[in-house]
Amino acid sequence: MERTLIILKPDAVQRGICGQIIGRFEKKGLQIVGAKLMKISQTLAETHYAPHKGKPFYDGLVKFMTSSPVVVLALAGKDSIAISRKMMGATFGSKAEPGTIRGDFGVSNSFNLIHGSDSIESAQRELGLFFKADELLEWKPVIQSWVYDFAKGQPE
């Protein structure tokens, strides 16, 4: 199963909507294989957002991400990256479609509630930044056979 990193940003934590957001991923059928509440250090934020260094929003983003605790999740599932990103919605809450996380909970173009890996490569890199290998669990939920059709040996 593919894995992805999700960060519930400081605004999601401060607004007390983490449970609702996590519940959406669980209801969709994505599996939590790692979770933690943490305060992101300046160094970790700079490393995580290094691909954006030099862009006009970079300094503000690093400041925002280090301003308050976040909830960091590792989710697993077939196509978990694409599914999570679709569930998150457009980057800016004001432009996100209703039914998405940002569309239902956000209006700001700065505070956008959630981060999700955008590719398999970035997911591997980001998961390694936020989780030690022994913090990511391998386990099979009993509902997995009701989430996916395994008739051909692979999840469909």
Residue 12 maps to a domain: yes
For residue 101, the model assigns a pLDDT of 98
Residue 90 maps to a domain: yes
**CATH number, residue 107:** 3.30.70.141
> CB of 136 within 8 A of CB of 130?
no
Q: What is the pLDDT along the chain (156 residues), one digit of tens a residue?
A: 999 999 999 999 999 999 999 999 999 999 999 999 999 999 999 999 999 999 999 999 999 999 999 999 999 999 999 999 999 999 999 999 999 999 999 999 889 999 999 999 999 999 999 999 999 999 999 999 999 999 998 898
> Which H or E element spans position 46?
helix 42-48
Residue 140 maps to a domain: no
Residue 105 maps to a domain: yes
Residue 144 maps to a domain: no
For residue 14, the model assigns a pLDDT of 98
Residue 96 maps to a domain: yes
> CB of 127 within 8 A of CB of 27?
no
115 is catalytic: yes
- Number of other residues whose CB lies within 10 A of the CB of residue 16: 8
Which of 115, 117, 123, 130 is flagged as catalytic? Answer: 115
Residue 139 maps to a domain: no
User: Which residues contact residue 95 at a Cβ distance below 8 angstroms, ignoring those fewer than 6 apart?
Assistant: 109
For residue 109, the model assigns a pLDDT of 86
Distance separating alpha carbons of residues 89 and 112, to the nearest angstrom: 10
Residue 51 maps to a domain: yes
Domain extent, residue 44, equals: 2-132
State how many domains the chain has.
1
Q: Which residue has the tokens 């925002």?
A: 64
For residue 133, the model assigns a pLDDT of 95
